Amino acid sequence: MKNACERWKDQLRETALTGARTPQFAEHLQTCANCSAELRDLEARRARLDTLLPLVAQGAEPPADFRARVLAAAEAAGKRRRVRRWQAWTLAGAAATAAIVLVVGAVLHRGTTGKIQPEGLAAAQKLAEWRAPSDSLLATPGQEILRTTPKLGESYLNVPMKAVEEE
């Protein structure tokens, strides 16, 4: 008999859960004490499950002041965001101010260089024109020789020393 009931195993659970039973299963139940007992057991379990399952989600309610608390938090977060935005603008403003100060400073600096003292200017010009003494030594006779092709009758060795003396 037990083996014959195996085929009703799933049907028993379906019936316990949904109440639906096929005519064949209803017929079997009328003749099988085993399955009838198991169905009663499964139905009792389903009833317990039906009591307990909703509590898994509905066993608690949000606190009475939940809405007020969320609104306060939202407002505070909004304020923080506004402050952050304000700080960002302030920072951007500070950066812009710094840039302006730099540009104006550079322009003013250039302005002062225009009014540099005459003795300073003379010194700077002298410095720019200054050449190391070795420069004249480097102007070897050979360079001069190679630069000019001697005229007929002139020697390559006829080196004009005038340029060197000018230094």
Should residue 58 be labelled a site residue for other proteins when binding is judged by CB under 8 A? Answer: yes
Closest by CA position to 42, among listed 8, 17, 6, 11: 17
CB of 19 to other proteins, least distance (A): 13
Closest contact distance (angstroms) between CB of 43 and Zn ion is 15
Based on the shown chain and the rule CB under 5 A, indicate whether residue 145 belongs to the binding site for Zn ion: no
Total residues binding other proteins (CB under 8 A):
33
Q: Which of 4, 26, 37, 53 binds other proteins (CB under 8 A)?
A: 53
Q: Indicate which single residue of 3, 6, 31, 59 sits in contact with other proteins (rule: CB under 8 A).
A: 59
Q: Is 124 exposed, middle or buried (0-12, 13-18, 19+ CB in 10 A)?
A: exposed
Q: Which residues neighbour 22 within 8 Å (Cβ) at sequence distance 6 or greater?
A: 11
Q: Which stretch binds other proteins (CB under 8 A): 24-32, 66-74, 139-147, 150-158?
A: 66-74
With vertex at residue 91, the alpha carbon angle to CA 85 and CA 97, rounded to the nearest 5 degrees, is 140
